[in-house]
Amino acid sequence: MARVASSEIESFSRVVEAIYDCALDPNCWHRAVRMIADLLASQRCTLGVHDYQNGCNDLMFQLGWDDEYYWRLHEEKYTKMNPFFAGFQLLSVGDVQTRAGLIDDSEFLESRYYLEWVKPQGMDDMIAVKALQTGQRTGLLVLNREEPHPRYGDAEVRLLRLLAPHVCKSVTISDALSLRTIKSEALEATLNALSSAVYLADRHGRIVFMNDAAERLANAGSSLRIENNYLVPIDRTAAKTLSNAIAGAIADEASPLTIALPGPEGDGLVASILSLTRGERRNVCGAFVATVAIFVQDPAAIPMLPGEAFAKLYGLSGSELRVLVAMAPGLSVREAAEILGTSETTAKTHLQHIYAKTSTSKQTELMHLFMSSAPPVQAA
């Protein structure tokens, strides 16, 4: 087994620390994105959260995208042609994937997206991690290498997989609290609007606030409960681990961490513990005299984006999902191929694969199946 130099470990640790600084101070992502790019020898790096319902990007931080013309061109013309978006939808939170894992080289290199937008900028390979998925919002950390730098290999994939859990936790917390819009007097209402359970504890570890989702979770008592104002998992080992993690966060001695809270029937929850005693964190929850936040989620309750559930049900690839979604408004294969920036032949091949996987044979039959399978969307 290859020996890891202490300097490499120190570099990795500094990046992880920088990532957690971003949890409650999103502006720190400017520094963290640069450090992540350096660690993975990448010339470009983008962290963004996209709201599919409102069609906008939030929490956007970039490195290496100095030519605003191409970025504006992407937003105006090439977003619909981006072959990676459908593949990203099919990833689970924390998954790491390279360009080759999302689309075949032959299909990518013939696409208008590559020929007209990627190639002119001298870009080559890409690696990404899915950092967030909540309802209609998806967060991605994407790194790019330019020619003539080598493509990403197994070493870079392993490294990003090590970083992924830390990026996911920090992005989730920062997106949930959205410091750019939260005012201290409105914090309670904001926390109550979250689907994730949030518990705030004082310097003694006592719960001083829980949002509506947290109260429902504690009342259910399947994996954890409240006893004498303390959060207590039903699993004894998890109870001790959580107690130590909260104590460490209160003392600000440990980086944020995530622990499992097993349930009685093989299920369970996941808890992330974050200190609130440094930087902007001291101001955010000061009204509750809180020094630690515990975010609890059911890992199986993350909702899917439109089309994702259908694609997973029938085993569609990212490229096949792109064709299906493009045709959903009633477009022909030729029109869908034009929108996606790929050849009609490639689009027809994907369509034939979709027919085979869904046991359909006509476009009208396929679209009826797809639309009838779409989950209902609650009106805003």
**pLDDT at residue 285, as a whole number:** 52
Bond from prior residue into 165 cis (ω within 30 degrees of 0): no
Give me the CATH code for the 308-373 domain, please.
1.10.10.10
Residue ranges of the chain assigned to CATH 3.30.450.20: 186-297
Residues 6+ apart with CB under 8 A from 256: 20, 23, 169, 170, 173, 249, 272, 273, 274, 275
- Give the whole-number percent of the chain exceeding pLDDT 70: 81
pLDDT tens string 136-182: 678 999 999 999 999 999 999 999 999 998 998 888 777 765 534 44
pLDDT of 291 higher than 70: yes
Q: What is the mean pLDDT of the chain?
A: 82
**pLDDT at residue 96, as a whole number:** 96
Beta pairing class for 224-227 and 230-233: antiparallel
User: Which of 82-86, 224-228, 246-250 comes out lowest in average pLDDT?
Assistant: 246-250
Candidates 3.10.105.10, 3.30.70.1400, 3.30.450.80, 3.30.70.980; CATH matching 6-177: 3.30.450.80
pLDDT of 184 higher than 50: no
pLDDT of 295 higher than 60: yes
| CATH class label, 186-297 | alpha beta
**pLDDT at residue 179, as a whole number:** 38
| Residue 9: band (very low, low, confident or very high) from pLDDT cuts 50, 70, 90 | confident
Residue ranges of the chain assigned to CATH 3.30.450.80: 6-177
Which secondary structure element, helix H or strand E, spans residue 25, and what is its range? none
Indicate the pTM of the whole model: 0.68
pLDDT tens string 316-365: 999 999 999 888 878 899 988 988 899 999 999 999 999 999 999 999 99
**pLDDT at residue 4, as a whole number:** 44
CA-based nearest residue to 210, from 202, 101, 9: 202
